[in-house]
Structure 1
Amino acid sequence: MKKNVINIPRVRANGKPLLYLSQIEGFELPKGILAKGGTGVGGSTLAIDSKHPYIIAVPTTALIENKMEKHPDVFGVYYQKGASVNPMSLSFYLEIVAVPVIMVTYDSLHKVTKELQDLGIDVYNHFRLLVDEYTELLKAYSYRNKAINSLVKEASKFNYTTYMSATPIDEQYTPKVFKELEYTELLWEDVSVIKPVTLKTAKPYHSVSNIIKRFKANGYAEKIGPNITNELFVYVNSVIAIKDIIDNTNLVPSEVKIICADTLAHRDLLGEYSIAKPIGDNKPINFLTSKAFSGCDIYSNNGLAIVVSNVQKKHTLVDIATDVYQIAGRIRTIDNPFKDTIIHIYNTGAIEMNKKDFEDWVNNKKISTKLQLSVFNKFSSIEKEAFKKRMEMSLEDDYLFYNEETNQLEYDDLKEMSEAFEFSITNEIYSNGLSVRNAYLKQGYDVVSSEQRVDYEEAFVNAATKLSFKEIMKEYISLMKYDASNERIPILENLEPEIKKMYEVLGAKKIETSRYSQKAIKELMYSESREAKDAVKHSVYTRLKKGGFYSSNEIIDVLEEAYKRHKIIKKAKSKDITEFLPAKKKQQRDSKTGKPITGYIIDIE
C-alpha cells in the first residue's frame, strides 16, 4: 500500500483559520483511501461542491437525509421493497442540474448504476465515486455481507473511487482489496483531544438510568465543572435496551427523541415513542443507535454524549479506535464545551477465546474453506443451487463468497478480516477495565478514569436485554397451539419475521423437537427447501440406473450419502424412497441365496 501524508496547518496564508478541506486551494478527494484526519472537516461537502459529477455511497439512510437537508441540489436515493423513495425521477434530476451529485446507501449503489446505464450514461467514467465512512464495510460485514460485497465489486468498476473515513481501518485488519489502493493521510495541526470519562460497572443500563433520573430531577440540567448541559445524547445500539431504559426512568414522549432504523418491529416495541430523524429539534434525552454513529450531524449548544456498552450484547460494543472518534465528532456546534467529551459506561466479561485459540479456529476455517471451494466448483448446477441456498440462510460459516457473475465460490477475505476485527473488540478490549483504558491511551485520548465497580439490583438488568430467538419462538409456538388469536402473535412475528414461515413449513412438533434453536430450525428449513431436495434427487439419479432393481437398504444407503453430501441433517428412511425416486415396490429373489428381497424398480426418466 503506497502511503501519502499531507500536513495541514490550522491557519491559512491570509491569517484566517483553516477548518475545512474546501479551504485548501486546489485540493481534491484523491483516488484510493483517504484518512481525512477528523470529523466535520467537510469531506463529503468537497464532493458535493466539486466540478465533477459524483455518486456518494453511505452506510445509512439517515446520512442521506442529513445531507439533503443542507444541500438541496443533492439527489438522495435509497430503496424500500425494491422501489425508490425519491419522488423525483433520476432522469429529470439529471436534466435540471449542471453537475449531478447522487447519494445512495451501500445496498443501492448497483441499482443506481444500472438505472444510469439504462439512461445511456457511461457511469463508471462519467461519475466519480465516494464511499463515505468506509470503515463501516468491515464493522457491518457480519450482517450486511451481501450488500457490502456488491458495493466493493461495483466500486472496482469506477475509474475514480475514493474510500473515505475520519477513522481508517487498522492495517492488520485491512482486506486485500484495500491494500492494493493508494493511501492518503491528512495530519491536521492542533487537533482537539477527545476526553473520555470511563465508568466500569456491573450493570451499564442501570448506571445510565441513574444518570438520566438525576438529570431529570435537576430540571434537565447537570453542572459539569464550570459548564451546564441541558441535553443528553445516549448512544446505545439496542432499541430494546432503549425502551427498557425509558420505562425504568419514567420518561414521557415529550422528553425523548429516538434515532434508530424505522422498522415495524421497532415501532411496535417503542409504542407511543416515535422514531425521529437526526435533523430537527433535540429533546432533553436523545437516544441514538448505530444508525447515527457515523456521519450524521448533530447540533447542540451544550449537549453531552454518553456511550453505553454491554459485553453480553456484542452489538452494543463500540470500537475505541473508530466508533468513539465518530461519536465524539457527531456534535458539530463549535462552541459546545462538551463537544470533545464522552462518558463511556461499560462492563467487562470473561474472555471467550484467547488469541491462540482464535488463531487455531481461523486456520481450521481456512482449511475447511479451501475444501469447500474445491467441492463446490465440481458440483453440478443443481447441486450448486442447494449450496447457494445454505449460504442465503447463513448456514455456512467458512470464508466463502458466491460470485453471481462467474457462478463460482470465492475466498471471502472481507469476512476473515471482519472476524479478526470483532475478536479484537470483544475478547481483547473488553476483557477488563485496564484493557479498555489502554485502548483509549493507544489512540491518544485524554482518559479520565472513574472506574468504580458497583453492583446493582438484577431485576432491571434482566429486563434490559434483548429477547433471544429461542424465547420468542417458544412463546410463539405456545400461542399458536393454545391461543392462535392472541394479539401478541403479530408482535412476535415483527420481532422475528422468519418464525411465521418456519411454523407453516415445519409445524409445532418439529420446532419443539429442535429445542427452539434457530440454527437447528434453519437446518430443518434447508432440508425442506426445493433446492436441497433437487440436489438429493440429482445425486441419487446419478447413482441408480433406470429399470434397475435395488433393495430398500441399497437405496437408503444411496440417500444417506446424498444427505451427507448436501449437508442435510436427516437420517434416510424407507418412506424417503418414494419422495425422491419414481420407483415401484417389488419383491424379488436374491440370485445367490434365493431368499425374497423387498426392493424397488427404478423408473427414472
Structure 2
Amino acid sequence: MYNNLFLPEGKYLGDIITKLPANKIIYKYLTGCGATHLEIFCNRWSIIVEPYIPVILGKQWKEVQTNDGLEIIRNLDVLPIYEKTKTDDIIDFLSSKRDKYKLVTTPEGMKKIIDACDELGIDVYQKFFLLVDECEKLIQDANFREGIIQVMNYFFKFKKRSFISATPLAPSDPRFAEHQFEDFIITPETMSKMPIDLYTTNNIASTLRNYLAKNKNEHYLIFINSTERIAAVITFLKIQEESQVFCSKESADILIANNIRDATEHWDKGKFKKYNFFTSRFFTAFDLKVDGKPNVLIISDVVNVAHSVLDAQTDIIQIAGRARNGINHLAHITNWDASLKSVSALEVKAYINGLKDGYYMIKQLRDQSNNNHNSGTYFVLDEALRTCSFNKFLNKTTMDICHFMIDNDIHANRIRGYYKSRNYIINSYDEAGRFLVNHIPENYNLEDKDLDRLKKGLSRTLAMEHICELFKMYADVEEQTPFTLNINFAFIDLIKTHQTKYRYFHELGIEKIRELKFNEKKIEEAYKLSKIKNSDSYYKLMFSFLAIFNEGRKLTGNQIRKYLNIYYEKHGVKLRATIKQLGEWFEISTRTTIYYKEDGTEVKGYTIGRPKNGIELRKPFRH
C-alpha cells in the first residue's frame, strides 16, 4: 500500500480516493481538505471519534443543491453521540434499515456504541471502521480530561482503524508498532506558508488596543483558552453589546451571571456579532462558515493564566483553519513568563521511571504482606499505593501504563518552555515551519505582572450566588410537587453542569451559603468541615479529644497544636491545627498565665472549658 498522496490545489480528498486507508496514522497537513467528509459519505460503516461536542453536532448536517440554491439538511445516515445520547438511541438507529451507518461520537461515547452493538449481536470490531479525528487531542487533553483516552481501550480490537489529523503528534504507545501501523502522508501539491503577525508584549491590554486600532474589520474571531480572560477583555474594552462568546455550558452560565449575557455552548451563525470569542472546544475540527472574511486574533496571557499557552505546531494551525471561507488577517498576541517550569523529554521520562520504580516496590511489599496475612501492614501499604503519583500514568481500566499521559507530560513541558522568553516563542513558530511570521515586539513601562488594567472579568462570588439561588428555586419547586412524574430536566442539567457548587448547596444548604456571603473559599472550607463532621473519622477524633481536653485542663498553645496534629493524622482528618479550630469544639479561655516555672518565669496558655455544641458521640464510639 502506498503511503504518500499528493493533493492537487483546489481538490478535496474525495476527488482523489474513495476511502481513507486503514491501520495508518494519517498526516493530512491541510485543515478543511475533506477527510472526515470523505469518511461520512464513503460506502462503509464508520465510527468517527471527535474531541468536542460542537464538532460532532456539526457533522450531522450536509449541503444539498436545490432549485432554490444550496440548502443545509440533516444527514440521516449520521448519528451524533455525546453525553445526552442514550444507548437505546444508538440501538434504535442501528435497528433501522440503511445502506451505511455513521456514528460520530466523543471518546467517552465509545462504551455506549459497544454496548448497543452487543445488544444487537453486531460484531462492532469487524463491521465498523474506526477513525480517531484530531488525534493529537488524546495527548494534549489527557491530563485534564480522563475520558478522552477511553477510546484506546477499544481501538486496537478493531480490524480496521486509523488516526488522522492535520496536526498529529506522534504517539509513543508501543501498540502502534506491534500492530504494524504506518504513517500515511497527504501532501498538498502547493503548500504556502500562512502570514501571521506575532505580537510579543509585556502588556497584553495595551497591545490589544493597538491591534484593534490598526486592524479594523466588521468581524473578529478571537480565540482565548480561558473564560476569565475572555470576560476580562470584554470588560476592559467595554464591548459587552458587540460581543458573543461560544464556550461550554458551565462557562456560559458563569459569564451570564457576570452580566456578559451573550454566551452559548452551541455555534449559531445567527448570533454572530462584531467580536466573537471562542474557547478551546472550538479550536479544532469545527467548521466556522461565516459571511465575509473576518480577522482571526489569538491571545495567550501566560502571566495570568498559565494554561493559555498554545502550540504553533498544532493549536495555531488548527485555529487558523477554522473559518472555511477564508480570513482577512491572522494575529497572535502573547506575553511570556520566565518562571514557567519546564524540563526536557529525557528529564520527564527519567522522573516517571523513578515514580514507576517506587510504585512497584510498594506494590511488591504490599503483596508480600498479604501473603503473610498481615492485614495492618497491607492496609498501610495499600493506602500508600493509592496515593502514589505514578497512578496518574496508569490506565484506570486496565492498570497498564498509559503512554498518552506520558506523552502529555512531555508535550506540556515543551509548550511551557516556548513561553519562557520572547525568542523561544519565535523559535516555536520557526519549528512549526507553517507560518510566514511578522514579529512585532512591543514593550511598555508597565508590565502585565505589575499592571492591574486587564482585571479579572469574572466575579466568583456573583457566579456562586446566581447558581446556588437557582438550586434553591428548583429545589423549592420539587418540594412543592413531590409526586409529579414530570422530570425537571433544567434542574438536572444545572446540577450536571455545576456539580461542585451543587455539592456545596446539598451539604450546607442555602442559608449557610448566604451566611458566608457566597464567598467560594469560605464555602469550600465549611463544606470540608461539614463532610468531616459527618464521617466516622470525626467521631473517633471527638472521642480522643474528650479524653485529652478535660474541663479545667491548662495547656500552652504549642501543646494544643501538637495534640491536634497527632490526632488529625491518626484519624485521617485534614484540618488546620489552630487554637481557633479547637475553639469550635470547646470553650477556651483567653491567653493568660497558667503557671510559673521554678525560676519564677510565667508560662502563658489556655484553660479548657466545656465541650461546645452538645458534642455527643454515636453509640459505637462510647465506652
Q: Flag whether TM exceeds 0.5 (same fold).
A: yes
Measured after TM superposition, the shift of residue 494 of structure 1 is 10
CA distance, structure 2, for counterparts of residue 196 and residue 73 of structure 1: 40
The answer (yes or no) to whether the contact 2:197–2:331 under 8 Å persists in 1 is: yes
The answer (yes or no) to whether the contact 1:64–1:76 under 8 Å persists in 2 is: no
The answer (yes or no) to whether the contact 1:74–1:103 under 8 Å persists in 2 is: no
1:145-165 CA deviation, whole Å, 9 max, x = no partner?
Answer: 1x1232210223222111111
Provide the residue aligned with 2:560 in structure 1: none
The amino acid that maps onto 1:432 is S
The answer (yes or no) to whether the contact 2:244–2:273 under 8 Å persists in 1 is: yes
Q: 1:262-273 maps to which residues of 2 (within 5 A)?
A: 262-263=249-250, 264-269=253-258, 271-273=260-262
Measured after TM superposition, the shift of residue 568 of structure 1 is 6.1
Of 43, 56, 67, the match for 2:48: 56
The answer (yes or no) to whether the contact 2:203–2:443 under 8 Å persists in 1 is: no
Query: In angstroms, what is the RMSD of aligned CA positions?
Result: 4.8
CA distance, structure 2, for counterparts of residue 157 and residue 210 of structure 1: 54
Aligned to 1:91, what secondary structure does the other structure show?
helix
Of residues 298-307 and 244-253 in structure 1, the stretch that sits farther from structure 2 once superposed is 244-253
Aligned to 2:198, what secondary structure does the other structure show?
strand
The answer (yes or no) to whether the contact 2:245–2:264 under 8 Å persists in 1 is: yes
The amino acid that maps onto 2:333 is I
The answer (yes or no) to whether the contact 1:237–1:316 under 8 Å persists in 2 is: yes
Matched, 1:421 2:421: no
Matched, 1:125 2:126: yes
Aligned to 1:131, what secondary structure does the other structure show?
strand
Provide the residue aligned with 1:441 in structure 2: 430
The amino acid that maps onto 2:336 is T
Q: Percent identity?
A: 20
CA distance, structure 1, for counterparts of residue 446 and residue 190 of structure 2: 42
Of residues 317-326 and 189-198 in structure 1, the stretch that sits farther from structure 2 once superposed is 189-198
The answer (yes or no) to whether the contact 1:197–1:447 under 8 Å persists in 2 is: yes
Measured after TM superposition, the shift of residue 504 of structure 1 is 6.4
Provide the residue aligned with 2:35 in structure 1: 43
Measured after TM superposition, the shift of residue 349 of structure 1 is 0.3
Measured after TM superposition, the shift of residue 321 of structure 1 is 1.0
Provide the residue aligned with 2:157 in structure 1: 157
Of residues 190-199 and 275-284 in structure 1, the stretch that sits farther from structure 2 once superposed is 275-284
The answer (yes or no) to whether the contact 2:247–2:263 under 8 Å persists in 1 is: no
- Pair 101,207 (structure 1): closer, same or farther in 2 beyond 3 Å: same
Aligned to 1:447, what secondary structure does the other structure show?
strand
CA distance, structure 1, for counterparts of residue 119 and residue 256 of structure 2: 37
1:293-319 CA deviation, whole Å, 9 max, x = no partner?
Answer: 100112343212110001131222111
The answer (yes or no) to whether the contact 1:113–1:123 under 8 Å persists in 2 is: yes
1:515-573 CA deviation, whole Å, 9 max, x = no partner?
Answer: 9599999987997897x979x99xxxxxxxxxxxxxx99xxxxxx99997997657999
1:96-147 CA deviation, whole Å, 9 max, x = no partner?
Answer: 42111111112212112212221221112111111111111111111111x1
CA distance, structure 1, for counterparts of residue 44 and residue 317 of structure 2: 30
1:31-81 CA deviation, whole Å, 9 max, x = no partner?
Answer: 23111121111111121111110011111110012221226134333344x
CA distance, structure 1, for counterparts of residue 123 and residue 570 of structure 2: 45
The amino acid that maps onto 1:498 is T
Measured after TM superposition, the shift of residue 579 of structure 1 is 8.0
The amino acid that maps onto 1:283 is K
Q: 1:223-262 maps to which residues of 2 (within 5 A)?
A: 229-253=217-241, 255-262=242-249
CA distance, structure 2, for counterparts of residue 189 and residue 41 of structure 1: 12
Measured after TM superposition, the shift of residue 22 of structure 1 is 1.1
The answer (yes or no) to whether the contact 2:86–2:112 under 8 Å persists in 1 is: no
Aligned to 1:454, what secondary structure does the other structure show?
coil
The answer (yes or no) to whether the contact 2:26–2:163 under 8 Å persists in 1 is: yes
The amino acid that maps onto 1:418 is N
Aligned to 1:185, what secondary structure does the other structure show?
strand
- Pair 30,349 (structure 1): closer, same or farther in 2 beyond 3 Å: same
Of residues 105-114 and 130-139 in structure 1, the stretch that sits farther from structure 2 once superposed is 105-114
Provide the residue aligned with 1:72 in structure 2: 75
Aligned to 1:498, what secondary structure does the other structure show?
helix
Of 397, 419, 422, the match for 1:430: 419
The amino acid that maps onto 2:56 is I
Q: 1:78-477 maps to which residues of 2 (within 5 A)?
A: 78-80=81-83, 83-84=84-85, 90-92=91-93, 94-145=95-146, 147-170=147-170, 174-178=172-176, 180=178, 182-186=181-185, 187-205=187-205, 207-209=207-209, 211-212=211-212, 214=213, 222=216, 229-253=217-241, 255-263=242-250, 264-269=253-258, 271-275=260-264, 277-281=266-270, 282-300=272-290, 301-311=292-302, 312-333=304-325, 336=326, 338=328, 342-353=330-341, 355=343, 361-371=351-361, 373-374=363-364, 397-400=389-392, 409-426=399-416, 428-444=417-433, 445-455=435-445, 458-464=451-457
The answer (yes or no) to whether the contact 2:12–2:34 under 8 Å persists in 1 is: yes
The answer (yes or no) to whether the contact 2:204–2:335 under 8 Å persists in 1 is: yes
Aligned to 1:9, what secondary structure does the other structure show?
strand
Of residues 434-443 and 94-103 in structure 1, the stretch that sits farther from structure 2 once superposed is 94-103
CA distance, structure 1, for counterparts of residue 75 and residue 383 of structure 2: 42
The answer (yes or no) to whether the contact 2:24–2:162 under 8 Å persists in 1 is: yes
The answer (yes or no) to whether the contact 2:246–2:264 under 8 Å persists in 1 is: yes
Aligned to 1:370, what secondary structure does the other structure show?
helix
CA distance, structure 2, for counterparts of residue 360 and residue 459 of structure 1: 40
Aligned to 1:459, what secondary structure does the other structure show?
coil
CA distance, structure 1, for counterparts of residue 280 and residue 262 of structure 2: 18
The answer (yes or no) to whether the contact 1:401–1:412 under 8 Å persists in 2 is: yes
- Pair 564,159 (structure 1): closer, same or farther in 2 beyond 3 Å: farther
Aligned to 2:312, what secondary structure does the other structure show?
coil
CA distance, structure 2, for counterparts of residue 522 and residue 102 of structure 1: 42
Aligned to 2:406, what secondary structure does the other structure show?
helix
Provide the residue aligned with 1:589 in structure 2: none
TM-score, scaled relative to structure 2? 0.68
- Pair 397,455 (structure 1): closer, same or farther in 2 beyond 3 Å: farther
Aligned to 1:355, what secondary structure does the other structure show?
coil
CA distance, structure 2, for counterparts of residue 387 and residue 303 of structure 1: 57
CA distance, structure 1, for counterparts of residue 135 and residue 230 of structure 2: 27
1:222-242 CA deviation, whole Å, 9 max, x = no partner?
Answer: 2xxxxxx43211000122222
CA distance, structure 2, for counterparts of residue 54 and residue 562 of structure 1: 58
The answer (yes or no) to whether the contact 2:13–2:38 under 8 Å persists in 1 is: yes
The answer (yes or no) to whether the contact 1:129–1:155 under 8 Å persists in 2 is: yes
Measured after TM superposition, the shift of residue 177 of structure 1 is 4.5
- Pair 23,564 (structure 1): closer, same or farther in 2 beyond 3 Å: farther
Matched, 1:9 2:17: no
1:166-199 CA deviation, whole Å, 9 max, x = no partner?
Answer: 111156xx34444545132322221131222111
The answer (yes or no) to whether the contact 2:395–2:402 under 8 Å persists in 1 is: no
CA distance, structure 1, for counterparts of residue 524 and residue 358 of structure 2: 19
1:443-497 CA deviation, whole Å, 9 max, x = no partner?
Answer: 1121111112235583332324x778xx899x98xx99xxx99xxxx9x999974
Matched, 1:34 2:37: no
Aligned to 2:164, what secondary structure does the other structure show?
strand
The answer (yes or no) to whether the contact 1:205–1:308 under 8 Å persists in 2 is: no
The answer (yes or no) to whether the contact 2:247–2:265 under 8 Å persists in 1 is: yes
Of 500, 503, 519, the match for 1:501: 503
- Pair 352,26 (structure 1): closer, same or farther in 2 beyond 3 Å: closer
The answer (yes or no) to whether the contact 2:31–2:318 under 8 Å persists in 1 is: yes
- Pair 524,234 (structure 1): closer, same or farther in 2 beyond 3 Å: same
- Pair 245,111 (structure 1): closer, same or farther in 2 beyond 3 Å: same
Provide the residue aligned with 1:599 in structure 2: none
Q: Name structure 2 gaps, 5 residues minimum.
A: 63-73, 474-490, 541-546, 549-564, 583-610
